[in-house]
Structure 1
Amino acid sequence: MAPKMSSILWTLLLLLLLICPSRQQGTGHGCGPPEKVKHTKPIQGQTFPGHTRLRYRCEDGFTRRVGTSTLFKCVERNWINKPNLECIPDPKLKTV
C-alpha cells in the first residue's frame, strides 16, 4: 500500500508544480499605474504584468536631463527608475 500512496503523492506534487506559477519563471507581481513625472507624456494603462518595462517620453519642448533614465521597470509591485527621470526645457529651442 505504501508504494501506491507514494505514487499518488508524487503525481499530486507534479500537478501542483505545473499549475502554480513560479517566481523563477519571471512572472513576478504586477504593478498599478506608473507614477506621474512632470513634463512627460501620459502612459496608457492601469495595470501591468510583472517585469514590464516602460519608456517615458518628455513632452514637446522638453528633453531628458543628461544622467537620468526614461526606463521604468515593474518589480514586485513597484516601479523602479534609477537614476530618476527629469524632463527639462529643451536648450536647443530658443525662447523669445
Structure 2
Amino acid sequence: MKIYFVYILECSDKTYYTGFTSNLTGRLFEHNSGKNLDSYTFSRRPLHLAYYSEFTNVELAIDTEKQIKKWSKAKKEALINGDYDALPNLAKKKFN
C-alpha cells in the first residue's frame, strides 16, 4: 500500500507552504537544498516541517492539500497546533 503525505512547512519568514508528496523525506530535502530556484520556498529557507498527515488514498490527499492551501494562516496554525475545535470557527466568514 502506497502512502501519501500532505505537509505544511514553516518558512524562515513565518509564512507557510503546503504540499503533497509520496516521499516526505526526499521532498523535504529538495525544499531545504534549494533544488528549484523558482519555488516559493527557495528564498524562504531554512524550512521547518510544522505538520504532516498520511493518506492511503491519493485523491483524498490531493483534495486535502488543495483545501488547506486555501486556509488562512490562523486556520493553518490551529491545525499545526492540534486545536481542532477552533477549525470550524476559523472557517466562518466574518461580517461587519
Q: Same fold (TM over 0.5)?
A: no
Larger Rg: 1
User: Into which bin does the TM-score normalised by the smaller protein fall?
Assistant: under 0.3
- Higher relative contact order structure (alpha carbons within 8 Å, sequence separation ≥ 6): 2
TM-score by length of 1: 0.22
More helix by share: 2
TM-score by length of 2: 0.22
